[in-house]
Amino acid sequence: MDLWLNSITRRAAVRSFSAFLAASPLLRAQQDPFRPHPRVPGLDELEDAFGFEDVAHAKLPRAAFDYTAYGTESEFTLRRNREAFAWVSLVPRSSTVALSEVKTSLELFGTQLSSPILISPTAAQIAIHPDGEAAMHQGATKAANTPMIVSNVASLPLAKIAEAATGPLWFQLYPKREAEANRSAMEDAINAGCKAIVVTVDQQASVFERALHDRNLGATGGPPRRSTRAAPGNPYRVEEMRIWYHWGLFDQIRKATKAPLIIKGVLTAEDANMAIERGADGIYVSNHGGRALDYSPSTLEVLPEIVDAVRRRVPVLFDSGIRRGEDILKALALGANAVCLGRVPRWGLGAYGAPGVQRVLEILRREFAAAMAATGRPTLASIDRGLVRTDFA
């Protein structure tokens, strides 16, 4: 009798079985453990750059998305680039200006810009959209003729990118050891219509741990990383990449072209001065979006000292970490003449192709103009350090 009274009831049995099913790994296997599954918004519904990142994540294979997302090693610098913008506060004037009074145009190296925004050079765009860099150029052109800096390792030929749209193009060069290879690449770029050459001197010996985690997914989202087991020519078995760069190399490149030369990857006042003394026409403050050397400073932290060293002798460009129009305003307040966007337009491309690039650039231009109006700065010339308060750690 006691055994019958203490036995499990039908209702209790159903409850136990339901709990088992809810906790079953078979059920969990049908769920995405990384992100939830809300409705994917339409292009016209997106109101900030972050929404494009979410849509790109939903659409792209993980390896392709991660190629855009990752930074080097622990990704400390990647995170610091973004966090640094939280250490700069905007201090508006007591009176605002009407948006109709805001003027954002400027001229840079003979290129007329409707706003101080360019597209950074990034590789392997065909991995995130079938039309690759051609679609990026189309979207940038439709977004008020935004200049695009074409990567030296673009996934499409430069001529095909150039013929896809009419907007301004610049060319980014990864220098080679052979002088003729550098001269030929720059000459081809100028012949294709590029108006300036951006010489990248960072991105030297990176290890992308997130890419290593993706190595069993069966597809890569960008150029494959070489294995350190390949026994490079040093006793440390470290991939050398571009550690051999030196100032003599830039002297060689400077002599090979009359086009404006901008040095990309500057993080110190000393290097900025050295570049100008050797004939650089512009300084590009960048740590390759956190993809060069881990535990380096954020670009926003070093921007003021570089601007002070340059003393307006040449324009200063800036990238890494920008996600909002207010971020652009902060960078200009700290002395940059223009900013370059890398991941943001790639999110637009991966999410919606050329229309996505156009839309995300228009959103940032709109946010930037609104921030200028709200802080009482009607022109780019009126933006100065009095606009910000910094608390860099």
Helix (H) or strand (E) holding 309: helix 299-310
Quick one: which H or E segment has residue 111? Answer: strand 111-113
The DSSP H or E segment spanning 15 is helix 10-23
Strand intervals (E) in 256-333: 261-266, 282-285, 316-318
SS3 150: strand
Rg (alpha carbons) of the chain, rounded to whole number: 24
DSSP secondary structure string, 35-77?
Answer: S--PPPPPGGG--SHHHHHHHHHHHS-HHHHHHHH--STT-HH
Catalytic site includes residue 37:
no
User: Are the C-beta atoms of 110 and 195 separated by less than 8 Å?
Assistant: yes
Rounding to the nearest 10 degrees, give the CA dihedral for residues 132, 138, 144, 146: 40
Give the residue from 278, 252, 257, 111 showing the smallest Cα distance to 195: 111
Secondary structure of residue 261 in the 3-state scheme: strand
| Alpha-carbon gap, residue 80 to 290, rounded angstroms | 8
Residues in the chain, total: 393
CB 164 within 8 A of CB 182: no
> Sign of dihedral through CA atoms 265, 56, 118, 158?
positive
Q: Is 118 helix (H, G, I), strand (E, B) or coil?
A: strand
SS3 state at 41 = coil
User: Could you give the angle at which helices 269-277 and 299-310 cross, rounded to 10 degrees?
Assistant: 40
- Which residues does the annotation mark as catalytic? 288
